[in-house]
Amino acid sequence: MHVRKNDIVKLLAGDHKGATGKVLSVDHGDGRVLVEGVNFVWKHLRRSQQHPHGARIQKEAPVHISKVAVICQSCNKPTRVVMKELEKAGRTRICRKCKQAVTPEG
């Protein structure tokens, strides 16, 4: 997976093409990411103690990983990242454009 939690990504396809947001979570199983503020859908809740009449809430829906590009924090552009094995530090991701390591904040 080239996308990690807390990355800033740009949507490349779909209804929200061009939107950017922070990755809230990554689902490694089916290759989807949840991006903050992107791809809102209405969720319909059943009646419950909290919502005696049911409710409609807006919530982010996950988007497929192939539809997002990581934005490099160094050159501030959507980029492809290359996995690189470092001798001691393990694996890191390198921006193809500016060759800087791409690390999520926080």
CB-nearer residue toward Zn ion: 34 or 95? 95
Q: Which residue has the tokens 């997002």?
A: 68
CB 45 within 8 A of CB 56: yes
- Cβ(76)–Cβ(50) below 8 Å: no
The only residue of 6, 20, 74, 92 in contact with Zn ion, by rule CB under 5 A: 74
The residue from 75, 78, 92, 101 that contacts Zn ion (CB under 5 A) is 75
Stretch in the footprint of Zn ion (CB under 5 A) among 2-10, 32-40, 52-60, 74-82:
74-82
Nearer Cβ to Zn ion (43/77): 77
Q: Smaller CB distance to Zn ion: residue 74 or 92?
A: 74
Question: Of 41, 43, 65, 45, whose CA–CA distance to 53 is shortest?
Answer: 45
* Residue selected from 62, 98, 101, 104 as contacting Zn ion according to rule CB under 5 A: 98
2 interacts with Zn ion by CB under 5 A: no
Q: Which residues contact 26 (CB under 8 A, 6 or more apart)?
A: 1, 3, 4, 5, 32, 33, 34, 65
Footprint of Zn ion (CB under 5 A): 72, 74-75, 95, 97-98
